[in-house]
Amino acid sequence: MTSIVIPAHNEGRVIGRLLDALLADAAAEGTDTGFDIVVVCNGCTDDTARVAGARGPRVRVVEIPTPSKHRALRVGDEHARGFPRLYVDADVVVGAADVRALAGAFTGSPELLAAAPDREIPLAGCAWPVRAYYGVWQRLPAVREGLFGRGVIAVSQAGHARIAALPPLMADDLAASQAFGPGERRVVESARVVVRPPRAWSDLVRRRIRAATSSAEFERFQASGRAPVPAGSGGSAVARGPGAPAGPAPSAPAGPAPSARTGTADLRALLRAHPRLLPGVVVFAAAALAARRGSRKAIRSGDFSTWLRDESSRTGSS
């Protein structure tokens, strides 16, 4: 049975649209989804648990007092019943057919450990700089090929073992994506997730400051030698984080650790292929500079727990 774990902290405004999308097929057919759905309300002070619980017995709601996504994921693992297992952010929308496409990708593909859906970012109603930014961001190779920034990641049982020992990280989806080599992960184009973007420039900058801060934390984690080593990178594909099994530590990967950062070479290559994107590249560079400046204090002080949440993308009713 496919399990879906949804960590949710004060997501009462939006979690209903996700759950309705997951349950829509069953409602139309008068049948069960066949999915095991677990919503972990962590430290909620709103009506998230009530909204989720109103969807009936097909959604199991677990409440914990700690506002921690990492803890919510682990508690979700304790209650989830099967594999493939999907971890889904409460503020995205993915449907039952998309879940089935993701789960089906693992059938007959033992080398596949992790998968994610194709990404749709609806930009209508967003400020021009936001639209220009995402016009560039979505074309970057690391963004197209990585599993991060989608709000959904599916893992097989073997893939789960790879990421289970990851410590609390702001960039949890980036860490999960980078734990798998190119041959072990896949973006499934027949599956789709809707990820709502920030609406205004100030909202975008806040989100990019969070991304810059979390990327710095993740790079420190990589440098510590505790990150999972993807197969084929020169080391053993075993995590050394808290909770990892006893035994010798994996050897360091050959060459530098994989990075999802965008360099000037990436932007130059993009401009050569799409010269009309020059205004967007300028906006992208401005956002990156603002994020770098805005994240300096947090990075210097080691503050990797302050979450700059974007409320502008959490519109819609449950």
pLDDT at 28: 53
What pTM value is reported for the model? 0.87
pLDDT at 278: 97
Instruction: Write out the residue range of the structural domain in which residue 98 sits.
Output: 2-199
pLDDT digits (tens, 9 = 90+) for 98-119: 999 999 999 999 999 999 999 9
Please indicate, yes or no, whether residues 192 and 66 belong to a single structural domain of this protein. Answer: yes
Residues of the chain with pLDDT > 70: what percent? 86
> Domain of 81: which CATH number?
3.90.550.10
Q: Considering the domain boundaries, does residue 308 fall inside one?
A: no
Cβ neighbourhood burial of 275 (10 Å; 0-12, 13-18, 19+): exposed
- As separate numbers, helices (DSSP H) first and strands (DSSP E) second, the chain gives 11, 8
pLDDT at 229: 67
Task: Give the residue from 310, 260, 264 showing the smallest Cα distance to 285.
Answer: 264
pLDDT at 260: 66
pLDDT digits (tens, 9 = 90+) for 197-233: 999 999 999 999 999 999 999 999 989 887 776 766 5
Please indicate, yes or no, whether residues 156 and 9 belong to a single structural domain of this protein. Answer: yes
Buried b (16+ CB within 10 A) or exposed e, 65-76: eeebbbbbbbbb
Please indicate, yes or no, whether residues 137 and 227 belong to a single structural domain of this protein. Answer: no
pLDDT digits (tens, 9 = 90+) for 231-277: 665 544 433 333 333 333 333 333 444 556 788 999 999 999 999 99
Rounded Cα distance between 297 and 193, Å, is 34
Please indicate, yes or no, whether residues 192 and 271 belong to a single structural domain of this protein. Answer: no
pLDDT at 25: 73
First to last CA, the chain: 26
